[in-house]
Amino acid sequence: MTDQGLILVTGATGFVGKWTILELLRAGHQVRGTVRSLSRASEVMDTLAAELGQGALVHLELVEADLLEDKGWADAMQGVSVVMHIATAIRADEPKDQSLVVRPALEGTQRVLRFANEAGIKRFIMTSSIATVGYGHGQTSGRRVYDETYFTNLDGMRWTWAYCVGKTKAEQFAWAFAKNNGIGLTTIHPGAIIGPALDQDASISLGLVSGLLNGTTPAMPSNGFSIIDVRDVAALHLAALDNPETIGQRYLATAEYVPFPEVGNILRAAHPEWQVTSKTVPDWIIKLIAAFGGPARQIINDIGNEKVFDGSKGEKLLGRKYIAAKDSILATADSVIRLGLVKQKTS
């Protein structure tokens, strides 16, 4: 590890943010993390102290800054040499007002980049998504493999959803802004992020596992999704930090494509004592429901086709394979059970 100076991580309370800060501290970096409210600072500190020991916290400072407000960002950038922009808005539902998700993604990225540029910061590592890669390309059936050369075409999508719109527009802005201002940008594109929760403030993405584990998700679609372990997402951010050849590059953080029923099978075999979901919803029902909006709108573009995201470029950067999807699924289940984030469903 070379000395990178002070690193700013946005979204310190988030699932990826906490894991990335943990790994940065473990590697000996000086870190400043942003939180929307300093009332959340103690819980982040307690979580990290439980993993690393109280002594590690001397290398961490938490400051207040909101993606939708200018206040606090100029101070947050002082003395920083690298920004890792991880913060965004994620919802389990699809809001009728897309701006609730689009604004934090797009305006937040614009704001963080603008203040970073004004502070003279020339290195920027950004958490993007597979949502900015594999959509709007006309795939309605069958299997297709996507790599980092694909960019989502929002105009080519019949059904958009807020997260896809926000993340795609944010990435488009980031590449243009970085080019115009001489900023070294790297983007990381995770699939469905699961893996062990560090505390009870866990990502809603873990519901992909916990909802099936205890049967509160009564039925599942037959299609699948590309899984990535949160520990690998954090590791990619650190690998990009230590390798200047990653500047100007996109990296897919995607392990295997796993159908939802296979996730159920993995959980059922490991936890026979739980009421793991076994029913599936026919594709035609999901398509019908999605026409009226709601959560189904978030997966409608994946129904009836198999989007496979080639993560080999990211694995090459790490120098190893990504954590296997089965291991991530089981680590997720173990953590949500241990932390009491999932309860046995009562009949």
Tokens 């500190």: give the residue.
45
What predicted TM-score, i.e. pTM, was given to this entire model?
A: 0.92
Q: Of all residues in the chain, what percent are helix, strand and coil, respectively (each to 5)?
A: 45, 20, 35
Q: Look at residue 303 in the predicted model and tell me its pLDDT.
A: 62
pLDDT digits 0-9 by tens, 20-77: 999 999 999 999 999 999 998 999 999 999 999 999 999 999 999 999 999 999 999 9
Phi, psi of 30 (to 5 degrees): -90, 130
Predicted pLDDT of residue 51: 95
The structural architecture, per CATH, of the domain 6-338 is: 3-Layer(aba) Sandwich (3.40)
List the domain boundaries for the chain: 6-338
Q: How confident is the model at residue 214 (pLDDT cuts 50, 70, 90)?
A: confident
pLDDT at residue 280, rounded to an integer: 77
Lowest mean pLDDT among 226-230, 236-240, 303-307: 303-307
Instruction: Flag whether pLDDT at 299 surpasses 70.
Output: no
Which residues lie closer than 8 Å to 317 by C-beta, 6 or more apart? 236, 239, 240, 243, 246, 251
Task: Determine which of 54-58, 229-233, 235-239, 280-284 has the lowest per-residue pLDDT on average.
Answer: 280-284
